[in-house]
Amino acid sequence: MEKFYIVTNDGKDPDYIVTNHVREVLESAGKLCYMSKKDEEKRIIKETIPKEMDCAIVIGGDGSLIEVARALHEKDVPVLGINMGTLGYLTEVELKNIDEALSQVMADDYVLESRMMLEGVRADGSRDVALNDIVVARKSVLRIIHFKLFVNGELLNAYEADGIIISTPTGSTAYNLSAGGPIVEPTASLIVITPICSHALNTSSIVLSAEDEIVIEIGMGRNGTTEEVLATFDGADGVTLRTGDSITIRRSHAVTKIMKLSRMSFLEILRRKMKGN
């Protein structure tokens, strides 16, 4: 690997102490480093992303890595996360191990894990992708929303709930887990549907094939009012949907390739992150 794209969460590394160290280590080994550029809202300016790179290094937490994965989903490059957050399911490298980790990367001593992504498409053809989840939930007003969920053109269920989470295996330990959904091995190929505070006796999650196509259709509000909800992608970019609108969710052709340097299994990582024995 010769060309590295470094993306820093300014809130996690405000003085760029870690970032500059990473850059110095790589450049001292003769590598080329591109530093990410962001707008006033601290979002990556997509037009400034280098056309050629061998690896993206993310300095921050899981949220930062997810942002980079979405921004680079068409690039097909591996992503390495340096953890400056808390749990760090995706950002594997701890601060004390940075030099060792960079040496491994430069020596090609790593394994790539392919993580499936989701694609959400609206009726007008606009689309976006998510590594963790696509969530359809109420927009500001504290009331339940009404929607129907179709799988491969067949009605699965009609819901009255605060919303619904369509999750990848990677996202199973995020919002899905908080809403009572199952934990899934992250490299699996499947889709998890978990209602949020459903007003029904059956609130169980549903696990589907990764090849299934899901359509969420927004229904009428109480007393025939127009419902207005928000569909968000990895908790970031959101689009407004109203009564009669729908969003189609399917497996994306893009995948996120996460660099794994340790031989620690998912179960061991899970046990440590969940503070088990």
Active-site hit among 62, 133, 234, 245:
62
Higher pLDDT, 277 or 15: 15
Higher pLDDT, 275 or 73: 73
Work out the number of other CB atoms within 10 angstroms of the CB of residue 251.
Answer: 19
pLDDT at residue 181 above 70?
A: yes
Residue 184 in contact with residue 156, Cβ under 8 Å? no
Buried b (16+ CB within 10 A) or exposed e, 64-98: bbbbbbbbbbebebbbbbbbbbeebbbbbbeeeeb
Q: Could you give the CA distance from residue 69 to residue 81 in angstroms, rounded to a whole number?
A: 11
The residue-averaged pLDDT of 189-215 equals 92
The residue-averaged pLDDT of 250-268 equals 89
The residue-averaged pLDDT of 252-272 equals 85
Give DSSP secondary structure letters for 175-194.
Answer: HHHHTTPPP--TT--EEEEE
**Quick one: pLDDT at residue 92?**
87
Percent of the chain with pLDDT over 90: 77
Domain with CATH 2.60.200.30 in the chain: 118-253
pLDDT at residue 276 above 60?
A: no
Catalytic (active site) residue 128: no
The residue-averaged pLDDT of 141-165 equals 92
Tens-digit pLDDT profile for residues 76-122: 999 999 998 776 778 889 999 999 999 999 999 999 999 999 999 99
Token pair 């949020």 is found at: 196
Tens-digit pLDDT profile for residues 56-65: 999 999 999 9
Q: Which amino acid is at 242?
A: R
Q: Which amino acid is at 115?
A: R
Highest mean predicted confidence (pLDDT) among 12-21, 39-48, 77-86 = 12-21
Reading the block at residue 23, the tokens are 């850059």
Domain with CATH 3.40.50.10330 in the chain: 3-110+261-273
Q: Is 270 helix (H, G, I), strand (E, B) or coil?
A: helix
Percent of the chain with pLDDT over 70: 96
Strand partners, 34: 5
Residue 225 DSSP one-character state: P
Superfamily of domain 118-253 in the CATH hierarchy? Probable inorganic polyphosphate/atp-NAD kinase; domain 2 (2.60.200.30)
Burial class, 230, CB count within 10 angstroms (exposed 0-12 / middle 13-18 / buried 19+): middle
**Which numeric CATH code is attached to 3-110+261-273?**
3.40.50.10330
pLDDT at residue 16 above 60?
A: yes
Q: Could you give the CA distance from residue 63 to residue 132 in angstroms, rounded to a whole number?
A: 10
Tell me the residue length of the chain.
277
Q: Could you give the CA distance from residue 263 to residue 258 in angstroms, rounded to a whole number?
A: 14
